[in-house]
Amino acid sequence: MKVTVVGAGHVGATCAQRIVENSIADVYLVDIVEGLAAGKALDLAEAAPLVGHGRSITGGTEYGPAEGSDVVVITAGVARKPGMSRDDLLETNGRIVTQIVEELVAVAPDAVIIMVTNPLDVTTHIAKEVSNFPRERVMGMAGALDTARFRAFIGMELDCAARDVQAMVLGGHGDSMVPLVSSATVGGVPITQLIDARRLEEIVERTRDGGAEIVSLLKTASAFYAPSAGVTDMVASILRDEGRVIPVSVLLQGEFGIEDTFLGVPARLGAGGVEEIIECELSDDELAALQRSAQHVRETVEAWERICAG
């Protein structure tokens, strides 16, 4: 199995590290900055005897070595800075993603594309339009990350292991995301029995602002440990054909009453990519919030189309 990771910054390099060190696949790391991907790949290759994996990792600036990739992870683009929203990155990152996907389709026409670059749902839309791949093979990593944050914050609140928290976040990767309070549990106990409504709303808001909170602390970078872990879960489920249900941004074609919009929803990931979209039961408020989130994504896609037309 082979994975190409585009972008050797914090997110991309940490993705590459997690994928090889978990012995999921060989990795080719690519970046336009001369020496960056090759240097980080060499460093990771030299660590292999110490961490005990036998996977290959190489790096470069050309897309040719991505040939035959089973999965392509795109992390390249401009990161947020304090005070910026994900949507502020639209024009720059939209053009970057367009060029990358054009290059990759030529050498890895059978790959599954996992988008990480923000604004996530729109760049995933762009990847689908440029590649013309079926929707099963183009998805965005956001729900896995947002869900991890939600679970972590609930665990912090209750002073329990986050792995015992079962929860899910749907919707767009931004202020309109929809943490599902109604179905969240800890050890099978509904969180609504453990945390009062006012405090739960604060946790929901912290989840929505999770990326901005880290940006404000780091000042010159955005989150990368948790995003790379989310990517690794998705890559593992696809390449190992595990069939795990993970919330990912995928093109909806009538599911949840939403048409032709990329949005984070539960999906079963296996060898074919998105093998099934799970239409879980939502409360009326959650469904309305999901549809508002879809509308925000559509408006941002329309902004991208105006940029292209101009």
pLDDT of amino acid 58: 98
Determine the Cα–Cα distance for residues 67 and 243; give it in Å rounded to an integer: 26
Mean pLDDT of 48-77: 96
DSSP assigned state of 48: H
In angstroms and rounded to an integer, the radius of gyration of the C-alpha atoms of the chain is: 19
Sheet of strand 165-166, all strands in order from the earlier edge strand to the far edge:
165-166, 185-186, 189-190
CA angle 145, 149, 155 (to 5 degrees): 145
Residues 94, 294: Cα–Cα separation, whole Å = 19
3-state SS assignment for residue 23: coil
Tell me whether residue 46 is exposed, middle or buried, using C-beta atoms within 10 angstroms of its C-beta: 0 to 12, 13 to 18, 19 or more: exposed
Mention the CATH class of domain 143-309: alpha beta
| Res. 86: pLDDT tops 70 | no
Of 109, 110, 178, the C-alpha closest to 142 is: 178
Residue 24 has pLDDT above 90, yes or no: yes
Helix runs in 139-260, H state only = 143-158, 197-208, 210-218, 225-239
Among candidate residues 10, 125, 173, 296, the one labeled active-site is 173
**Which is nearest to 19 in space by CA: 67, 64, 65, 51?**
51
Query: What are the sequence ranges of the domains in the chain?
Result: 2-140, 143-309
pLDDT digits (tens, 9 = 90+) for 119-156: 999 999 999 999 999 999 999 998 999 999 999 999 99
Residues sharing a CB contact under 8 Å with residue 1, sequence separation 6 or more, in sequence order: 24, 25, 26, 70, 71, 239
Nearest to 27 by CA among 1, 62, 61: 1
CATH homologous superfamily for 2-140? NAD(P)-binding Rossmann-like Domain (3.40.50.720)
- Unique residue bearing structure tokens 């990350």: 145
Peptide bond preceding 65 in cis form (omega within 30 of 0): no
The mean pLDDT value for 256-281 works out to 95
Give the residue from 257, 256, 279 showing the smallest Cα distance to 266.
279
Q: How many CB atoms lie within 10 A of CB 225?
A: 11
> CB–CB of 142/120 below 8 Å?
yes
In this prediction, residue 176 has a pLDDT band, given cuts at 50, 70 and 90, of: confident
Report helix, strand or coil for 253.
Answer: strand
Which amino acid is present at 169? V
Q: What is the pLDDT of residues 179-210, one digit of tens each?
A: 999 899 999 999 999 999 999 999 999 999 99
Question: What phi, psi does 2 have (nearest 5°)?
Answer: -135, 135
125 a catalytic residue: no
Q: How confident is the model at residue 174 (pLDDT cuts 50, 70, 90)?
A: confident
**Quick one: pLDDT at residue 85?**
66
Q: Report yes or no: 155 and 165 within 8 Å, Cβ to Cβ.
A: yes
Cα–Cα distance for residue pair 7/100, rounded to 1 Å: 10
